[in-house]
Amino acid sequence: MSTAVSDHPNVARIIEIIGRQNPLQRKRISAFVSTQGSEYWEFAESLSRTLNERLLRSDESAQEAARSYNRMCMDFVNEQIRFKKTGRYSLDDAAVAHDEVYSRPDVMRYYMIGLLLSYMFWPNHYAMLRFLDEHLRTRAIAKYLEIAPGHGLFTARAVRRSPRLRGMLVDISPTALEVSRSILEAFEVDLSRLDVVRGDFLEVDLGETEFDFISMGEVLEHVNEADVLLARAARLLTPDGAIFMTTCANCPALDHVYHFHNVREIRELIAKAGLAIGAEMALPSEPFPEEVWERELVTINYCCILTPA
C-alpha cells in the first residue's frame, strides 16, 4: 500500500527542494516513491531526518545537496545518450577518471552527495541497499573493510547492525573520504573504530589483516584491472567471511571503464577470483526482457554476496 509523501516531512523537504530546481526529477522521484510501502518510508524518513538535522539544516546546504543530486542525474543522462549512440563509454582509462573526477573536490563532492541521495530515490539503488541490509541482519561483523566508500552510507548501515565492529575504509579520493567522514559523524559512528586510508586499493599496503566482511559498492567499473581488484579483495577475506559487491553492465558514467556487457561476464570474473555467489540480484534500468539487455545496451545494476569458493 502506498503512503503519502506529506506524511514524511523530512523526505518531503528534500524532494521539494530537488523538485523546485528540476521538475522532471520531482516527477521521477514521485513515480518511484508513490509505489513504496512502510519499509521504504521508514528507511527514507530516517535517512532524511539524519541528513536534515545534521548536515542540511540551512536552506543553502539543502539547496546545494539538491543541486548535487540534479547535476549527478544529468551527468548520467548525458553519458547514457552518448553511449546509446556510440556503444562506447567516454573514457577507457581509470587514470583519466582520477584526474578529472576523484582528485577534483568540486566534482567529487556533488557526485558523492548526489549518489548518497540516489539510494533513496533510484529504484535499483534502493533495492541494492535493501539487499545489503537484509544480509547485515544475518551476521555480527568483527573486522570490516569498505573498498571505495564514496559517501559512507554502507559503512553506516554495517555499524548500525554491528556496533562493535572495527575496520578500515580505503578510497582513492580525499573528497570521498571527507564526505564519508561527515556522513558517518552524522550517524554518530565512532570513527576511532575505523582506519580511514586514502589510496588506490590496488596498491595500498594493508599488512596481514583479514576481514570477515568486505563491502565494495560500484568500484570494479572504476579501475582498469577489475579482475586484479576482486582477487585482492578475495585474498583479504577470512574463510567464513563474505563480500557485498555491486557493479553494473552497460553503465556509462563520467568515471566508468567499460568492463561488462552482461551478467555472465560479471559471474565469470567472480569465479576467476576464487569466489562463490551466495545470493545475487540483477536489475535492469529499463523494462526489457533479459534476452535483449545486451543488444539494447540496457544498464544492469548487479549486486551479490560472495564467499570463498
C-alpha–C-alpha distance, residues 81 and 101, integer Å: 20
In angstroms, the first-to-last Cα distance of the chain is 41
Kindly state whether residue 257 participates in binding ligand SAM, applying the rule CB under 6 A. Answer: no
Kindly state whether residue 102 participates in binding ligand SAM, applying the rule CB under 6 A. Answer: yes
Kindly state whether residue 201 participates in binding ligand SAM, applying the rule CB under 6 A. Answer: yes
Kindly state whether residue 114 participates in binding ligand SAM, applying the rule CB under 6 A. Answer: no
C-alpha–C-alpha distance, residues 2 and 37, integer Å: 5
Number of residues that bind ligand SAM (CB under 6 A): 19
Residue labelled with grid coordinates 561488462 = 260
Kindly state whether residue 254 participates in binding ligand SAM, applying the rule CB under 6 A. Answer: no
Quick one: which of 75, 79, 178, 218 contacts ligand SAM (CB under 6 A)? 218
Return the bridge partners of 144, or none: 167, 213
HSE-CB at 217 with a 13 A cutoff on CA atoms is 19
Shortest Å distance, C-beta 6 to ligand SAM: 29
| Minimum CB distance to ligand SAM smaller for 55 or for 170 | 170
By CB under 6 A, the residues from 134 to 193 that bind ligand SAM are 148-150, 170-173, 176
Shortest Å distance, C-beta 160 to ligand SAM: 17
Taking CB under 6 A as the binding criterion, the range among 6-14, 64-72, 217-225, 300-308 that sits at the site for ligand SAM is: 217-225
Is residue 151 within 8 A of residue 115, CB to CB? The reply is yes
User: Quick one: angle between helices 38-54 and 174-186, nearest 10?
Assistant: 110
Shortest Å distance, C-beta 59 to ligand SAM: 27
Kindly state whether residue 55 participates in binding ligand SAM, applying the rule CB under 6 A. Answer: no
The DSSP line for 174-220 is: HHHHHHHHHHHHHTT--GGGEEEEES-TTT---TT--EEEEEEES-G
| Minimum CB distance to ligand SAM smaller for 1 or for 95 | 95
C-alpha–C-alpha distance, residues 256 and 171, integer Å: 16
Is residue 279 within 8 A of residue 305, CB to CB? The reply is yes
Shortest Å distance, C-beta 178 to ligand SAM: 11
**Binding-residue pattern over the window 5 to 44 for ligand SAM, x denoting contact by CB under 6 A:** ----------------------------------------
| Minimum CB distance to ligand SAM smaller for 12 or for 197 | 197
Kindly state whether residue 304 participates in binding ligand SAM, applying the rule CB under 6 A. Answer: no
Quick one: which of 200, 210, 265, 280 contacts ligand SAM (CB under 6 A)? 200
3-state class of 145 per DSSP? Answer: strand
Q: CA-CA distances (angstroms) from residue 129 to 31, 60, 70, 146?
A: 19, 28, 21, 15
Where does this chain bind ligand SAM (CB under 6 A)? Answer: 102, 115, 148-150, 170-173, 176, 200-202, 217-219, 222-223, 246
